[in-house]
Each structure stands twice: as structure tokens, then as C-alpha cells.
Amino acid sequence: MNPPQTLLQLTGRTYAPARLDSATLLVIDAQEEYRSGTLRLPGLEPAIAEIASLLHAARQQGTPIIHVRHLGIPGGLFDPQGPRGEFLAEAQPQAAEKIIEKRLPNAFASTELHDYLQSLGRLDVVVCGFMTHSSVSSTVRAMKDYGYRCTLVESACATRDLPFADGSIAAEQIHRLEMAALADNFAILVADCAELIRSN
């Protein structure tokens, strides 16, 4: 039996990973909630190190950068008035970089993200951030609806353990399965930022 192929391969719609110098970098919800809040992610530290490397490479090449910030509940998750809603130190936006604020997992929902991407005139978008199964997945899936070509950096995303039935599913397994699902029909997957940077 032949190994399985993605839907992108089967339909002839696959494409090469984006080049940073001709793409936009989208960093989703790189916020303190995931380090010190209720939603601590077991894979946060290696993922945020990868995001920092991507940001450095993008800035070196003049790549447009968009930072998505989730606006949560005052006094609760992603508190917009407290430290849990702030960007992580390693992913702080610089002055010229765009910040998009959202209240739903999908960063396109009720925000100016699509209009801003259109103003940049770039079809390719490199995506990283948190959480793999929620805001990253929702945004990447919507990206296909808008006609963008998404390159997803696996090591620059992370998620958390999820309850299921009478037990739980480990974050690593959730992350791996979601990456496989997104790579099937919604994004080209690269393993890490080094792979992406080498291709540029």
C-alpha cells in the first residue's frame, strides 16, 4: 500500500514554503498567560525561542510582522488590563510592527487582519504562536478561505494537555495531530525556523 498523501498533494495544490523576504510573519497570541497564567503550556519555552528566532530573521529581512493579541477577561484569562494579557518578553512588538487585537480564536473574526494583509499585497503568510489546536488552527483554516498561502512553523507553536472522557490527551499528541490536520489541506508545514531561514 502506498503511503498516504495530503489533500494538497492529491489535488495538485501544494506549494513551496514561503520565503521570508516576500511573505508576512504572523505571530499569534505570544502572551504571558501561557507562561505564568492558568493556561501554562508545557512546550512554551522551546516554542517561544523559535518565535524569537523567526522575529529576528524577519526583522533582518524587512519582512512585515503582525502580532495578534487576545483580549480576555478583566481579572481572568488574558486579562487585557494585567500582566497575563501582555506579550511575552521574547516576542515584544517593535514600533513599526502591527498589532491586531481579537476576542475570538480566529484572528480574522471581527478584526482588521484581512484588510491589513491585503494592504501589504503579500499572498504568503508564515504563521507561529499559541495554541496549536485553538487560535493557530482557527486562523490557519480561515486563511485558506481568504486565499492566502500559509507556511506553518511546527516548532514555533505549542498547546496544552486537554481533558477527554475520563482522562486527558497530552499536549504533544494534540499538537502533532493538529499539525497533521493542518498540513493535509490548509498549510505547508516546516519543522523549525532554521528550515525556513535556510530556504531563504
Per-residue pLDDT of the chain (200 residues; tens, 9 = 90+): 788 999 999 999 999 999 999 999 999 999 999 999 999 999 999 999 999 999 999 999 999 999 999 999 999 999 999 999 999 999 999 999 999 999 999 999 999 999 999 999 999 999 999 999 999 999 999 999 999 999 999 999 999 999 999 899 999 999 999 999 999 999 999 999 888 877 66
* Pairing state between β 65-70 and 24-28: parallel
Q: What is the DSSP letter of 167?
A: E
Domains of the chain: 7-11+21-193 (3.40.50.850)
Q: Which pLDDT does position 146 carry in this prediction?
A: 97
* Residue pair 41/131 in contact by the 8 Å Cβ criterion: yes
Q: Which pLDDT does position 143 carry in this prediction?
A: 98
| pTM more than 0.85 | yes
